[in-house]
Amino acid sequence: MSRNAESTAFRSALEVIRAVEPRVADAIGAELTDQRESLKLIASENYASPATLLAMGNWFSDKYAEGTVGRRFYAGCQNVDTVEALAAEHARELFGAAHAYVQPHSGIDANLVAFWAVLADRVESPALKKAQVRQVNDLTEADWFALRRELGNQRMLGMSLDAGGHLTHGFRPNISGKMFDQRSYGTDPATGLIDYDRVAEAAREFKPLILVGGYSAYPRKVNFRILREIADSVGATFMVDMAHFAGLVAGKVFTGDFDPVPHAHIVTTTTHKSLRGPRGGMVLCQPELADQVDRGCPMVLGGPLPHVMAAKAVALAEARRPDFADYAQRIVDNAQALAEGLLRRGAKLVTGGTDNHLVLIDVSGYGLTGRQAEQALLDSGIVTNRNSVPQDPNGAWYTSGIRIGTPALTTRGLGTAEMDQTAELIHTVLTQTTAGANADGTPSKAKYTLDPALADKVARQATDLLAPHPLYPGIDLA
């Protein structure tokens, strides 16, 4: 697409929106400005291509399409069938998967589809049918206990939240923690790395129905061959959530033992993050689970979003191009350069570095909580998110860590030299931020002090760093 065509497309779209609700048009334009000017280091965010963005704003949004390709509960879905089939085809070819289901609206939805597919495949119980016709929000803790009991009190073993796992891997406030009798495996306290012998020991003791691999804040590779062997040894279904690192799998940076697709029974992912597509989810699985996975709607999901499936097809097609592999490798190169820059400046990193797209800083060494560090960095034009570290004394809300990632900046074209400069900006802000106190004089986990002049200076430096790498250079809304 030519730059002129991109500008015309988005400018025209905003004109149409502005005629109905100008405040929405203004907010959309402001978001582009903010993203262009901010040093975005949130590991779970990226920038979708103009083609992917445009694929979501069309008449597919008007269609109901419950069911699957060729088996819809609504008439007139032949064009939806086309884009869903294309998205699934690209997914299968890209990841070498036997089956792909592209309807989930998010990563959590994809995980729910996977959980229920495994339960339906492995456990025969009338409770399954009951659960599908009741309102989930109406179920009490006693109801959930009864449901788990009727299902055989099925068990899940997944990575703990503070070790880098995700809340959908059995965290109690999440639906996964209510569906399953759950236990977590952590990391070695000394190294922060997964101890596979301890995982195997926990699996032998707990005997889970599902062993979950994958993470949202673990900065190292995972050996999925070993985890599959552990799952097989206790008769568990091995599920991997690769939402964060799907782009590294697609780009063939993670291969062999570190590619989950050949080893897992079922794999879930988002389609944004390192995959650089629209916000959405996807499930890949072995043939024996395909029929159950395809029942995701109406078992778990509402109506599919055809316009988002169209965008998934576009993004997955982009990921099959040769240049995507180069992009994926540069994500890791940049993350390692960022980690090395931080280490040289004295920062404490969980596991001492990274093998993937993210770096986890333990900001307690700066005398800060994650919440204080996150806000101070934001004041300085650096967008990150606070995150727990292993055995975090501040819990999941205030935290002791900052998670940073390189997919978005890599999309903009920044390289390893700019990552070292980014490390300098982060270190400058964190060393110049001091923890505040509550009104009664007790230490605060949220309040902090940072000289506004310094914050402004760093923000200008961040803008200068980004200037040679404009975001969406083909789009001019003026």
Task: Given the residues 37, 45, 66, 333, select the one marked as catalytic.
Answer: 66
Q: Are 394 and 400 in contact (CB under 8 A)?
A: yes
Residues β-bridged to residue 210:
156, 237
DSSP-derived letter for residue 256 is G
Q: Which amino acid is at 132?
A: Q
Angle, helices 452-466/22-37, rounded to nearest 10 degrees: 90
Looking up tokens 């509550």 gives: 438
Is 196 among the catalytic positions? no
Task: Given the residues 36, 63, 64, 424, select the one marked as catalytic.
Answer: 64
Is 26 among the catalytic positions? no
Task: Given the residues 52, 168, 270, 406, select the one marked as catalytic.
Answer: 270
Task: Given the residues 63, 221, 279, 457, select the one marked as catalytic.
Answer: 279
Q: What token pair was written down for 201?
A: 């020991």
Residue 66's Cβ-count burial label (10 Å; 0-12, 13-18, 19+) is middle
Is 241 among the catalytic positions? yes
Task: Given the residues 155, 228, 273, 312, select the one marked as catalytic.
Answer: 273
Q: Are 260 and 247 in contact (CB under 8 A)?
A: no
Is 130 among the catalytic positions? no
Task: Given the residues 6, 181, 241, 318, select the one marked as catalytic.
Answer: 241
Query: Residue 86 in 3-state DSSP?
Result: helix
Is 23 among the catalytic positions? no
Where is 459: in which H helix or E strand? helix 452-466
DSSP sequence for 285-338: E-HHHHHHHTTHHHHT--S--HHHHHHHHHHHHHHTSHHHHHHHHHHHHHHHHH
Looking up tokens 């949130």 gives: 42
Strand 99-101 with 281-285, pairing = antiparallel
Q: Are 103 and 312 in contact (CB under 8 A)?
A: no
Where is 430: in which H helix or E strand? helix 416-431
Taking the C-alpha atoms of residue 347 and residue 366, their distance in angstroms, rounded to an integer, is 8
DSSP sequence for 13-72: HHHHHHTT-HHHHHHHHHHHHHHHHSEE--TT-----HHHHHHTSSGGGG----EETTEE
Looking up tokens 């975090």 gives: 392
Looking up tokens 């103009």 gives: 50
Is 64 among the catalytic positions? yes
Catalytic residues: 64, 66, 241, 270, 273, 279
